[in-house]
Amino acid sequence: MPIEAAASILAGHRLDGTAVVPLHEADRPADMTAAYQVQDRVHERLASTRFGRRIGWKIGCTTQVMQTYLGIDAPCAAGLFAGTRSDTPAQASARDYRRIGIECEIAVRLAQPLDGRGGTPDLETVAASIDSAMAAIEIVDDRYADWRTLGAPTLVADDFFAAGCVLGRPVARDALPDLAAVRGTTMINGEARGRGIGADVLGHPFAAVAWLAASLATRGRRLEAGEIVLTGSLVETRWLDAGDTARIEIDGLGTVALTVD
């Protein structure tokens, strides 16, 4: 599988807004190892564009509801980029996406590096590495002709739907509630459209961060100080139309808002 060819195709679709279709067999990543190799090259290609440098990670499929929804039975990682990060309240144009959606997330910011090369970190080690946590909206984009036809490795290589994030007010580590117990709610136009709790994310959002550290270690990498991690959606993806206002509410972390015009 020519890694550069696959990365060129996927980055090209991201930049020009055209739908991703199944790659030819010769270009298609065959497994997750190849998928992350392609993903790294996609990130390199996007860094000099409007997307900008990678500033962190999103973790997908950390809850049963999202694994069922996407048909992927294990967590996976994707990039977050400087050019697609916003603070609440944020606005987005539906015209800039093929199909815009949101996910209800707990985000963390790293105070110091977290390295999984010595083994998967325990929750106490993760907690000690965190500067703060915040409520977040992950913006997703169904940029696929039919994502069900692509296969999990191609989706991962393309950052599986990732399109940006809106971050709430950071809450310092020492002031955090029990993140396993907090409840998150997705509101669309004032109506509750789904709820979940922090424990839905691999038992605890910090367990998702530990998984990411261990996953990066298999690629000779680590989480770096200052990086932001979206730990996984508490609520199934909700799709938006122009004119919609979305609001994420997470106990003890506050609210995040996004208006689509």
What integer pLDDT is reported at residue 34 of this predicted model?
A: 94
Predicted confidence band at 147 (pLDDT cuts at 50, 70, 90)? confident
Tens digit of each residue's pLDDT (9 = 90 or more) over 208-225? 999 999 999 999 999 999
* pLDDT of the residue at 201: 93
Residue type, 73: D
| Omega before 89 within 30 of 0, i.e. cis | yes
At residue 141, does pLDDT exceed 70?
A: yes
**Chain-centre distance of CA 41, in angstroms?**
18
> By C-alpha distance, which of 14, 260, 10, 19 is closest to 137?
260
Domain locations in the chain as residue ranges: 55-260
Residues 6+ apart with CB under 8 A from 256: 88, 89, 134, 135, 136, 137, 166, 167, 168, 247, 248
Mean pLDDT computed over 143-158: 91
Lowest mean pLDDT among 66-80, 143-157, 181-195: 66-80
CA distance 246 to 2: 40
pLDDT digits (tens, 9 = 90+) for 27-79: 889 999 999 999 999 999 999 999 999 999 999 887 776 677 667 777 899 99
Sequence-ordered list of residues with C-beta below 8 angstroms from that of 175, at least 6 positions apart, any chain: none
How distant is the alpha carbon of residue 181 from its chain centre? 21
Q: Among 56-60, 73-77, 91-95, 201-205, which is the least confidently predicted range?
A: 73-77
Above 70 in pLDDT, residue 1? no
Largest Cα–Cα distance in the chain?
Answer: 51
Model confidence at 133: pLDDT above 80: yes
Tell me if 167 sits within 8 A of 105, measured CB to CB. no
Q: Are 22 and 154 in contact (CB under 8 A)?
A: yes
H/E stretch holding 211: helix 205-217
135 has pLDDT over 70: yes
The whole-number average pLDDT for the span 68-92 is 90
If residue 67 lies in a helix (H) or strand (E), which one and from where to where?
helix 64-70
Please check whether residue 105 is in contact with residue 198, taking contact to mean a CB–CB distance below 8 angstroms: no
What is the length of the chain?
261
Q: What percent of the chain has pLDDT over 90?
A: 87
The yes-or-no verdict on residue 172 having pLDDT over 80 is yes
pLDDT at 2: 83
Say if residues 77 and 216 touch (Cβ distance below 8 Å): yes
* Distance separating alpha carbons of residues 256 and 87, to the nearest angstrom: 8
Task: Flag whether pLDDT at 192 surpasses 90.
Answer: yes
The answer on pLDDT for 94 being more than 60 is yes
The top-level CATH class assigned to 55-260 is alpha beta
Residue 165 has pLDDT above 60, yes or no: yes
